[in-house]
Structure formats: structure tokens, C-alpha cells
Amino acid sequence: MAAMVSLALVLTAGCGSNDVPGSTQDSAKTTESTDANEQDDGETKPEAGQETADGDVVSLELVCGHGVTLPEKEKNFVEQGIREAIGVDVTMNIVGAGADYATALNARISGGDVPDLFIAPSDETLKQYVQNGIVLSLNDYLDQLQPLVDWVGGEEALRPNYINGGMYRVPRKAKGSYSMPVVRKDWLDKVGAEIPTTMEEALEVAKKLTFEDPDGNGAQDTYGFSGNGLWAFNLILNSYGGSVYNNLVLDENGELTSTLLAPNMEAGLEMCKRFVDAGVVDPDIVANSGDALRDKMAQCKVGMAVTEWASVYKQALMEQLLAVDPDAEWVWYAPLDSGTGDRACFDTINAVGSKGEWCVSAAVAESPEKLEAVIKLLNYITSEEGEKLVSYGVEGRHYNVENGEIVKTDLMSTECDFLWVYQMAYRDDGVYLAVKFPEAAESIVFSENTERMTAYENAVIAPEGFHAEDMNKYITENMIAFIFGTRPISEYSQFLEELNTSFGFEDYMKSAEEQLREQGYIE
């Protein structure tokens, strides 16, 4: 293994310098076209060694693992717009997605080649970056980043971005929850069922949609219940006060508790298992990714799906869903009642804002002009002008302003698919969605009004020596085991005991309570 790691280091050190457009080379190439750069807030004094031909353009490399295709550099109007506005040459590189992204990025970083700004693959890796001194704490620059801070919601909204006392994440505006359950209404009519409102009804509906051949092709090839990963079972568990995750919530007395400790958690797991045992659950449910689920929905294999409005009701996606069966009618429905007295709800919203995705390389602080470029960039994308650019594209081409409102053009639908990658501090989501997806307006409102759990874990910083990701992995494995029957649910209390002895779950909860009390979230 050691040999493997060292080899990886050698390899990436070698590749890194070839793959990445050298900053000097890039700026020299592009400065010719940027004499329109009349922004005079920049007193950038190019220092010796920094080869900026015209003395104006600093290059920044941004790296992320999002699954989008970017236009070519010359046609990338966002990067051009940023350069024209603030004189910073931004280059976004996408290196793999999912676990591949973590592999590629970490290999590069281990080779000493750290991108200027990048998305941390996971909380645990970011913690490693922090311990290794690879990422920059933005604490010292908060006064310079005031526009960004104000935009995301002030000092309080910065809390989820702290690790060991430093703000290592670029803060972002809070993201709402898009999730919702949907069902094939036309199939319900065919098998003579109603939209379910309780768990028992949902189970019956799922059985009918599985075994009564709703697509009428004579073969039993449909599944009543599917979703994207284990998370789909939260449609059931959340209404029992539980969750497949360790969500920190307040109980009815306002006391902090974990969804794992919910009094009806076991009953919720039993209900999940009844779905599985009835044979109505898509067997690939845990492995499904966004596209896999949508494909199955389009191929008429799924009756009820736990998904997001954004995967169903956007016009382009709805067209895909109707490609095979134009009569398919997907309708959303409210969270289900469990009959245990717990509030019917689905999914969580964060009480304390969202964690930022992006972080800044520590090396940036060593070069004053790079640091200034990063600060300019972050303030720009949250300024009125910059936010419009990264949200809607170019005025006159992708949108027009009519009576103070933004109206999209046809080109927005075809040319602006990749913009969200540049929304490093997120966006004004309500306005954004209304402009971009007027066709989904009703579903967006429904998703906004859906009953959610309020989760507090974002405000909690894991105590020293607590391996949050290890514990979460262990929780996930066991949830799968309980739901799919490989571990009897009667061992649930034993499982909680294991969390204590192996990971120090109780200490974590104690620390969480202290922290939330300190911040005034609980009495």
C-alpha cells in the first residue's frame, strides 16, 4: 500500500504539471483580448515572477466534480464575463464525478498541486485538508468579503462553514429542500386506487402498482416503490420521527435529540421492511442514482418514486419522462401519516444555513494578487451584476429585463445548463427558479410548503477525535441491514449501544447540545 501511495504521488506530481494549464501561459494567451478591462478598483501591482503581460489579468484555477459539460473556453461567456468585469481569468476544470472526483483531486493535491479554488469531496476530506494546512481559513479576510457575507445572510449564516475554529468553506446561501414523492396517477386510476395519505394505504397502493400490471403489458415488470438511494426510505421513517441518517432535531419538549433515538424508530424500520418484504421495492433502490431512477420512471417500471421536483417537472425532463408513454401522469403528494402520532413530514431543512462546497487553497494567501483575485471573484459573483451572470447568463442574449423582472429567452434553455457550477455561493433560489422553470412553478410551491424536519447538525462541529464519517458509514450499513432484513430490527438497541462504544455517539450528542445552547438554538 505504501508503495502504491508513493507511486500515486510520483505519478500525479508528474501528470499535474502537464494537465493543468499553467497560469502564466494562460494569462499571456488571453490578455490580448481584454483591453476592455476598465475596472479601476484594481490596484494590482504585478510583482516580479508573476508574468502578467499587460499587468492586469491574474489566473485562477477552479476545480470541481460536477457532472456537467462546460462550453469551450472561447465560448464560455461566464468566464469571459468575469474577466471583463474584474480582470480575473477564471478557468473551471471538471475532473471526474463522485468517488472518482475524490480520487482524482486527492491524488493531485498529494502531489503538491493544489487548485486555487476547489470543491471538497466530503466533510472528512475537508477536515484532512485543514489538518494538512492545504486550505485557507477565510476568517482573516471577512472584512474584505463583507459583500459575500451580507449576501449569504450575515455572520450567523457562516456557522456551518467552521472547522476547528477556522472558516474553511466559502459560505453560501441556504439551499431549500426540493424533494417530494410522486406517483403515476394514470396507473392509480387503472388499478382502482387513490393517492395514499397513510403508510398502510401507501403499502397497499405499492402492492397494486407492483402486482396488478398497471402498464398492461401482461408481464410483472413494475415496482411500486423506488427512489434515489437509501434516502428514499425517509419518506417512511421521517413520519415516525426517525431517519436513515443521524439528524439532530428537537423533540416536542424542545430538547435536542437524534432521529436515531426517536421512540418510534423501530416501528418505522418495521414499516420499511414490510415494503421490502412485500416485494414492492425496486431492488436497485440503494444503488439508483438520479438518472437511473428517471430512466426507470420513463420506461414505465416505477409507480411511486421518491425524488425531487427538479428531476421531474422541468420541461426537458418531463419530455423524457413522457417519451415512452405519453399518457403517463406524474402527480406529487403530501407526506404520509404513520398513525403513531408523529408529525407527517418528509426530508429535512437546515435550521442554520447550508455548508459551503468550495474552499480556497492555502497557497493563495502567499500571493497577494491571487488572494485579491479570489476575494474579488467571491464578491463579484454575489454582487447584483455577477449574480445575474452566473444565474441567468448574458443580458440581451439569455434574458431580458422587462419592468424590472427577468424574462428568459429561448437561448437560456439551450446555453445556460452549466451556469450553476459557477454559483459558488449559491443563488437567490426563489427568484432563480421562477425565472428558469416557470413550467414547474406549482411543484416548487408544493415542495416549499411540504412539512419538513428541522435539522441542526450543520451548526455542530464534531468534537476532537470523533470520526463522524466512520460513524455515518456504520449507520448507513446498519440501516440497509435492518430495512432489507439482514439484521433483525430487534437488535436496534444493540446497534445504538455499538454506536456508543465504537464511536462515542453519546459524547457527540453532549457536545452538540452544548454547542447549540451556546449559539442560542436551544434553551
Partner 1 sequence: MEKKGRQRIRHIMKWNWQYYVMLLPFLIYYLVFKYGPMYGVLIAFKDYNIPKGILGSPWAEPVWKHFEYFFESPYAARIIGNTLKISFYKIAFGMIPPIILAIMINECKNKWFRKAIQTASYLPHFLSWVIIYGIMTAFFSQTSGLINRWLTQWGLSSYPFLTDPTHFQAMIVGTDLWKGLGWSAIIYLAAIAGIDTTLYEAAIIDGCSKLKRIWYITLPLLKGTFILQLILRAGSIMNAGFDQIYVIASDQVLGVAEILDTWVFKEGIQRMNYSLASAVGLLKSVIGLVLVLGTNKLARKWDEGLW
In angstroms, give the least distance from the CB of 1 to partner 1. Answer: 2
Nearer to partner 1 by Cβ, of 83 and 355: the residue is 355
- Residue 443 C-beta: closest distance to partner 1, Å: 27
The distance of closest approach from Cβ of residue 497 to partner 1 in the complex, given in angstroms and rounded to an integer, is 12
Q: Which is nearer to partner 1, 273 or 452 (CB)?
A: 273
Separation of alpha carbons 467 and 474, rounded Å: 11
In this structure, the number of other CB atoms found within 10 A of the CB of residue 149 comes to 22
Shorter beta-carbon distance to partner 1: residue 223 or 426: 223
Shortest distance (Å) from residue 472 CB to partner 1:
12
Least distance in angstroms from the C-beta of 166 to partner 1: 16
Question: 3-class SS at 168?
Answer: coil
Calpha distance 162→169 (Å, rounded): 7
Q: What are the C-alpha distances in Å from 437 to residues 177, 248, 410, 433, 465?
A: 16, 33, 12, 5, 45
Using CB under 8 A, list all residues that contact partner 1.
Answer: 1-8, 99, 102-103, 106-107, 109-110, 112, 121-122, 124-125, 128-129, 131-134, 219-221, 223, 230, 279, 282-284, 286-287, 296, 301, 469-470, 474, 476-477, 480-481, 484, 486, 498, 502
Shorter beta-carbon distance to partner 1: residue 103 or 413 = 103
DSSP string, 57-122: -EEEEEEE--S--PPPGGG-HHHHHHHHHH-EEEEEEE---THHHHHHHHHHHHTT---SEEE-S-
Return the bridge partners of 337, or none.
198
Q: Which amino acid is at 91?
A: T
| Nearest distance, CB of residue 119 and partner 1, angstroms | 14
Q: Which is nearer to partner 1, 70 or 126 (CB)?
A: 126
Nearer to partner 1, 245 or 426 (CB): 245
Chain-centroid distance of CA 63 in Å reads 16
Comparing CB distances to partner 1, the nearer of 5 and 401 is: 5
CA-based Rg of the chain, rounded to a whole angstrom? 25
* Shorter beta-carbon distance to partner 1: residue 99 or 441: 99
CA distance 71 to 61: 16
- Please tell me what DSSP assigns to residue 135: B
Output the CA torsion 388→389→391→393 (10° steps). 120
In the complex, the smallest distance separating the C-beta of residue 108 from partner 1, rounded to whole angstroms, is 11
15, three cell numbers: 501528470
- Owner of C-alpha cell 500525479: 12
Closest CB to partner 1 among 315 and 500? 500
- Closest approach of partner 1 to the CB of residue 105, in Å: 9
- Quick one: how far is CA 366 from the chain centroid? 31
Query: Quick one: how far is CA 358 from the chain centroid?
Result: 12
For residues 338 and 238, what is the distance between their CA atoms, to the nearest angstrom?
A: 9
Nearer residue to partner 1 within complex by CB, 225 or 309: 225
- Which residue lies nearer to partner 1 by CB, 142 or 481? 481
- Cβ proximity to partner 1: between 65 and 87 the closer is 65
Q: Rounded to whole angstroms, what are the CA distances from 521 to 248, 400, 455, 460?
A: 12, 42, 11, 11
Rounded to an integer, what distance in angstroms lies between the CA atom of residue 467 and that of residue 22? 37
For residue 361, what is the DSSP state? B
Minimum distance of partner 1 from residue 200's CB (angstroms):
23
In three state form, how does the secondary structure of 187-256 look?
Answer: HHHHHCCCCCCEHHHHHHHHHHHHHCCCCCCCCCCCEEEEECCHHHHHHHHHHHCCCCCCCEEECCCCCE
Q: Please, which residue, 216 or 341, has the CB nearer to partner 1?
A: 216
Task: Identify which of residues 53 and 481 has a Cβ nearer to partner 1 in the complex.
Answer: 481
Least distance CB 289 / partner 1 (angstroms): 11
**Please, what is the minimum distance in Å from the beta carbon of residue 125 to partner 1?**
5
DSSP string, 374-425: HHHHHHHHTSHHHHHHHHH-SBTTTEEEETTEEEE-HHHHHH-TTGGGG-TT
**Which of 120, 486, 135, 443 lies closest to 307, judged by CA?**
443
Please state the closest distance from residue 471 (CB atom) to partner 1, in A.
Answer: 10
User: What is the nearest approach in angstroms of partner 1 to the Cβ of residue 482?
Assistant: 12
Work out how close the CB of 318 gets to partner 1 at its nearest, in angstroms, rounded to a whole number: 23
